[in-house]
Structure 1
Amino acid sequence: MSRKTRLYALMERLRDGQLHTAEAMAQDLGVSVRTIYRDMEVLAASGVPVEGARGYGYTALAAVTLPPLNLTEAELDALHIALAALGASDLEEHAQAARSLATKIEAVLPEDTGGPVAPFGFATDAFAEAARGFAHMPAIRAAIRARQKLRVILAGTPHDIRPLHLDYWGRVWTCVCWDEALGDFQRFPLEQIERLSPLPGLFVDEPGKRLEDWQARK
């Protein structure tokens, strides 16, 4: 298992808000406890809202959500793309401006958890490549609205999916979908998409394959 895959697996584990010990996570992932300690440090440095300490356990705070604003979904997507791309660019003036804008946005974000707000919109460090997935967001959003099946290529393997939801958590955009071949739900980071194309025909909501069915599993 690559380091990035392991970090995603740890993020998925922490999403439930429960306390997870380093020993249990190390055993499940087949790595040392020391490796889990390092991974937790990487996640925290990358903006994932991790809380905990060695010998105690780790959990993640609730994701920070934006208050109601007069922004369309396309405008919000553009904001994420601009901040992520410029914040990681070599153009120092633009990078500084992106960080300044992020700071202003943070000032109006609600704080429901009582913890510090991580920088908004950046995909940094271990997740620096996450911005690659932004290019697929318009097509996925359109497919979700139209109930359009998609064929996505992940690690060289085609998957015919019913896209159900786009999720932003831990500095990573993911797609929740029903995978026709697997016969089950799956969630994958958008950056893992190698190619994407729409399939003919639309899908209808079926019991067991809907977004609410996925949410009921949590």
Structure 2
Amino acid sequence: MSRTDRLFDVIQILRDGRLHRASDMAQRLDVSVRTIWRDVTTLMASGLPVEGERGVGYILRAPITLPPMLLSAQELDALREGLRLAARAPDAPLARAARKLAKRIAAVTPAPQSDPDQLFGVSGRSENRAPKHLPPLRRAIKARERVTVSYLDPRGFESHRDVCPLALDREGRIATLVSYCEARAGFRVFRMDRIIAVAATGERFSLPQGAGLAEYRAALAKD
């Protein structure tokens, strides 16, 4: 068995969300316990949500695969278009991930009628330079951690606010940060091109009732 195949099998074992001992996995895959240790370390280093330690066991904290799906032609076109836009995003890590995913999807789906490179946006070119604070904002949103945003208003005055980041959004061609401001008890939207800096506080936040992203979307739809 190749190492790639074995890593895939380790993931399949962990997919049930239960705690698995390295010795049990080694027996199932007919390898040594040390091999399982090395494989799990590789999976952790690659960013997969695997937790645990030697002598205790390992568990996958979040699903990492999608169930099999049959997509219509229109749904496949929508997926390709979304990846094309993501591949041109100013967030460099996100754009790289979109291009990688586009190539994987292209390998298992019918060829598009137009130029696949054009459709999937795999050229790697970006419309804008990536602001250096985009990746830390994405990490803070996933971790639900409060951040301090340094911001220039339309008049050029600088302010500093502690906010709970909810989502990275786009209004037309303008990228925005949707957040909840606890001090003002309301939603705040910042233009990304006016954000000077983002500082992590290391503090996790818990939103009050009615202050989530779903409520923001609903309020926006009513306007």
TM-score by length of 2: 0.42
Higher relative contact order (CA 8 A, sep 6+): 1
Larger radius of gyration: 2
TM-score by length of 1: 0.43
